[in-house]
Amino acid sequence: MFTKTAEFYDALYAFKDYGQACSELTQLIKTHQPEATTLLDIACGSGKHLTYLRDTFDVQGLDLNEELLNVAKRRCPEIKFHHQDMTDFDLDMKFDAVVCLFSSIGYVCTVENLNKAIKGMTDHLAPGGVLVLEPWITKEKYWQNHLAANYVDQPNLKIAWMYKHEMEDNRSIFNINYLVGTSEGVESFTEQHVMGLWTEEEYMDAFRLAGIEVTYDEKGLFGRGMYYGKKVQ
């Protein structure tokens, strides 16, 4: 995953409006659970969502990627972070809201792991708690064979990153080539990102199996859709 690019993650995704997304997310959670005070961010990455969500909730974060967690801990030293796998985690506590954002769920790769992850998230919800998930794109909407190029142009950081949208079975595969320039020089490297491609019904089934009354919002927070619902009492 982001083993080589963790330090550049926020620059790579600087186009994302975290403040607006978290404002909408907070409103959604409070609409369905007005008394919500605690929140767990699954696959919290560099912790940027939490810098906004902590204004309303007592927050914690969880991620498997240790490099990204190190960035999050520097950004939010007062927040508790957990280095665990979203398909098999146990924090021995309950939260009023559990969120998994920006398509991070795709990294569990299989339907079996999708079901395990959603079940684990639900198990960490208090009765009446809200689960919110931003999915990865479905197989039908995937941009197979599309060539993508992205750029970062900051005074002391230049990045060009390119990849082809490949697919194998029900997985999207990005072999991303990076060219990174800093004050220390220019380097190049690659990272492979593999993510599961599932149908809307497979996502909804995972929620239902876990005991969540699920709703699908086609737009979501970032145009990739959003699934959410309350834990059945």
- The model's pLDDT over 132-173, given as tens digits with 9 standing for 90+, comes to 999 999 999 999 999 999 999 999 999 999 999 999 999 999
In this predicted structure, the answer to whether residue 1 has a pLDDT above a threshold of 90 is no
Average pLDDT estimate for 17-46: 98
Q: Note the pLDDT of residue 184.
A: 94
In whole numbers, what is the pLDDT of the chain averaged over residues?
A: 96
Average pLDDT estimate for 90-115: 98
DSSP state of 218: S
Instruction: Grade residue 194 by pLDDT with cuts at 50, 70 and 90.
Output: very high
In this predicted structure, the answer to whether residue 130 has a pLDDT above a threshold of 80 is yes
Q: Note the pLDDT of residue 30.
A: 98
Average pLDDT estimate for 75-80: 98
Average pLDDT estimate for 77-89: 98
In this predicted structure, the answer to whether residue 127 has a pLDDT above a threshold of 80 is yes
Q: Note the pLDDT of residue 223.
A: 87
In this predicted structure, the answer to whether residue 232 has a pLDDT above a threshold of 90 is no
Give the tokens for residue 207: 């929620």
Three-state DSSP state, 28: helix
Cβ(214)–Cβ(227) under 8 Å? yes
Average pLDDT estimate for 45-74: 98
Instruction: Grade residue 210 by pLDDT with cuts at 50, 70 and 90.
Output: very high
Going along the chain from its start, the domains and CATH numbers come out as: 6-138+197-231 (3.40.50.150), 139-196 (2.20.130.10)
Name the β-bridge partners of 166: 173
In this predicted structure, the answer to whether residue 193 has a pLDDT above a threshold of 80 is yes
Q: Note the pLDDT of residue 118.
A: 98
What one-character-per-residue DSSP string does 58-119 give? Answer: EEEEEES-HHHHHHHHHH-TTSEEEE--TTS---S--EEEEEE-TTGGGGG-SHHHHHHHHH
Looking at the chain, the whole-number percentage of residues with pLDDT higher than 90 is 95
Give just the sign of the alpha carbon dihedral 228, 88, 10, 52. Answer: positive
